[in-house]
Amino acid sequence: MSTIVEQAGAAAEAAAPERALRPPSYWPFVVPALVTVLAVIIFPWLFTIWMSFQEWKVGTPTTFVGLSNYLRLPADPRFVESVGHTLSYTALSVLLPLVLGTFAAVIFHARFPGRGLLRALFIMPMMATPVAIALVWTMMFHPQLGILNYLLSLVGLPPQLWVFHPGTVIPSLVLVETWQWTPLVMLIVLGGIASLPTEPYESAQIDGASTWQMFRYITLPLIMPFLFIAAMIRAIDAVKSFDIIFAITQGGPGSASETINLYLYSVAFVYYDLGYASAIAVVFFALIIALTALLLVLRRRAQWNALGSET
């Protein structure tokens, strides 16, 4: 609406400078993106929700089945197990990069020669093509010929089966995920540390505080908001992690590393049970939203606690 007014007024603008100061309409700038987002993002969401109420296998006509796709979920052992795998995979893939990334940020905050180049090398794992690095990790995990068991033997540890054993497959995949995504946590926390005031450190130094004390009582409380952002991003990415798991184990051995995302893939594109897959997608999406909301609540509570301790 306002665009028409604006176009009509465009010619008059030069003649009437006082009108030109009225902010122009910016809608025409947004419309192409709006159409794109509607087509490739909003439409799939709505279609997925609609399909989750249908029985739809490829080659058969669709029938409305109400909530029965959703009711299948709790009785599906593979789905229930995949939820467990997803949660343990996510918990570990948030905690480890968070701890290591904070440590790395403290290191990279210091000045040392070659810092720029070393930082570029350090962030390479997260920019590299996931399938390509998954391929090399698969070779490294090899029980007989892999370099990892050789490294273990150097320090006197027994060889492991890594991703080839149900008991160690999730921690092994988390190792890859941690290697890959610790840099992102580092970058976020480094931004946080760089924005801190220097005065507290100066006075702490005068009072004779140790490096650890300064980190524990000054840096850590001040970078808490950044740690929460990093944790949230990490949780969202870990919960929907796909490339690494798919390329290394395809959910195996058996279904020991099958996360919700992997199971969703199988139901949709191996069994072509599209209605049921859509229900899984909807529940999965709800789970991610819930996880994000939980972290936001935790963050708010932490802020209140911080305020409470200050007063």
- For residue 258, give the H/E element and its range: none
Pairwise CA distance, residues 128 & 140, whole Å: 17
| Amino acid, res. 246 | F
Amino acid at 120: A
Listed in sequence order, the residues at least 6 apart from 97 whose beta carbon sits closer than 8 Å to its beta carbon are 177, 178, 181, 182, 184, 185, 230, 234
Separation between Cα atoms, residue 156 and residue 50, nearest integer Å: 57
Among 62, 36, 41, 20, residue whose Cα is nearest residue 274: 62
133 binds another protein (CB under 8 A): yes
**Residue 63 touches another protein, criterion: CB under 8 A:** no
| Comparison of 12 and 304: residue with beta carbon closer to another protein | 12
List 130, 143, 171, 253, residue binding another protein (CB under 8 A): 130
Q: Which helix (H) or strand (E) holds 54?
A: strand 54-55
Among positions 67, 99, 121, 294, the unique one binding another protein when judged by CB under 8 A: 121
225-244: which residues touch another protein (CB under 8 A)? 229, 233, 236-237, 240, 242-243
- Residue 26, interface with another protein (CB under 8 A)? yes
DSSP assigned state of 55: E
Between 24 and 200, name the residue whose CB sits nearer to another protein: 24
Angle at which helices 274-310 and 77-109 cross, to 10°: 40
Stretch that binds another protein, among 71-79, 86-94, 140-148, 212-220 (CB under 8 A): 140-148
71 binds another protein (CB under 8 A): no
* Count of residues engaged in binding another protein, rule: CB under 8 A: 94
Q: Which of residues 275-294 bind another protein (CB under 8 A)?
A: 277-278, 281-282, 284-285, 288-289, 292
Q: Which is nearer to another protein, 154 or 305 (CB)?
A: 154
Nearer residue to another protein within complex by CB, 215 or 304: 215
> Are 93 and 173 in contact, with CB atoms under 8 Å apart?
no
Least separation, in Å, of the C-beta of 309 and another protein?
A: 28
Among 55, 163, 246, 255, binds another protein (CB under 8 A): 246
Helix, strand, coil share of the chain (percent; to 5): 75, 0, 20
For another protein, give the closer residue by CB, 28 or 221: 28
- Computed over its alpha carbons, how large is the radius of gyration of the chain? 26
User: Among the candidate windows 166-174, 176-184, 200-208, 301-309, which touches another protein by CB under 8 A?
Assistant: 176-184
* 109 lines the binding site for another protein (CB under 8 A): no
Name the region of 196 (left: φ>0; alpha: ψ -120 to 50; beta: rest). Answer: beta
Q: Could you say whether residue 304 binds another protein (CB under 8 A)?
A: no
Smallest separation (angstroms) from another protein to the CB of 285: 6
Q: Which listed range, 17-25, 72-80, 85-93, 200-208, lies at the site for another protein (CB under 8 A)?
A: 17-25
Cα separation, 291 vs 235, whole angstroms: 8
Q: Which of 204, 247, 256, 302 binds another protein (CB under 8 A)?
A: 247
Is 173 one of the binding residues for another protein (CB under 8 A)? no
Q: Quick one: tokens of 215?
A: 């980190």
Residue 299 interacts with another protein (CB under 8 A): yes or no = no
